[in-house]
Amino acid sequence: FIIQKPINKLLAGVDYVMRGNLNVSLDISNNDEIGTITHAFNSMILSLKKSHFQLKEYSTNLEKTVEERTEKIKENAQQLKHVNIQLQNEVYERKKVQEQLEYNALHDPLTGLANRTLLFDHLSLVINQQERQYLKGLFALFFLDIDRFKMINDSLGHEFGDHLLVEIGKRLVEC
C-alpha cells in the first residue's frame, strides 16, 4: 500500500500529460526508486514544456514570416499587374500607330482614297485571281482623270484644288 499511493500519483500525472496537460508536477519526496522515477517524470514535463514553448514560438515566427512573404507577393503581384496594364497599353498604342502608318502608306493624305501603291496591289491580286478562273483575264478597270486640274490649281489656288479633290473623292466613295 505504501508503494501503491506514489505509483497512483505517477499514473495520474501520466494521464494528465496524455490529455495534453503539461501543468503537472508531482511531489513525491521519496529517496527510493519511486522518487527517482518521479524526479525523471518532472524533468520530462519541464523538457516537454520547454519544447512546447519553443514550438509555439517557431510556429508564431513561421506564421509571421508567411504573412510577410504573402504580403510581399501580393505587392509584387499588384506591381506586375500594373506593369502588365502599362505593357498592354503600349502594345495597343504601338499597334494603333502601326495601323495608321500602314493606312498612310496606302492612302492619299488629302482624300483618304487608295493611292497608286494600293491600286497596283489590288490590281495584281485581281489579275492573279482572274488567271485562275475559267474566264481568264476578263475584268474592267475604271480610270478617271480630271482635265485641266493644273489650271484650276494655278488660277483658283491650291486650297481650292485640294477642296475640289476632296469633294470628288467623297462623291466617288458614295457611288
| pLDDT for 133 | 72
Say whether 128 sits in a helix, a strand or coil.
helix
Average per-residue pLDDT for the chain: 89
CA separation for the pair 32, 147 (Å, rounded) = 132
Using a pLDDT cut of 70, give the percent of the chain over it.
97
| pLDDT for 136 | 65
Instruction: Please choose, from the candidates 39, 46, 48, 41, the residue with its C-alpha nearest in 3D space to the C-alpha of residue 20.
Output: 48
Residues 18-50 have pLDDT tens digits of: 888 888 888 877 778 888 888 899 999 999 999
Cell numbers found for residue 71: 504580403
Work out the average pLDDT over 140-163.
89
Predicted TM-score of the model (pTM): 0.52
Which of the pair, 69 or 128, is modelled with greater confidence?
A: 69
Residue 151 confidence class, pLDDT cut points 50, 70, 90: very high
DSSP state of 114: B
Residues 84-102 have pLDDT tens digits of: 999 999 999 999 999 999 9
For cell 478562273, the residue is 133
Cell numbers found for residue 79: 506591381
Residue 135 confidence class, pLDDT cut points 50, 70, 90: low
Whether 51 shows a pLDDT value over 80: the answer reads yes
Do the beta carbons of residue 15 and residue 24 sit within 8 Å?
Answer: no
**Residues 58, 59, 64, CA angle at the centre, nearest 5°?**
95
DSSP state of 32: S
| pLDDT for 6 | 81
Residue 137 confidence class, pLDDT cut points 50, 70, 90: low
HSE, CB side, 13 Å, CA atoms: give it for residue 71.
6
Q: Which residues contact 52 (CB under 8 A, 6 or more apart)?
A: 22
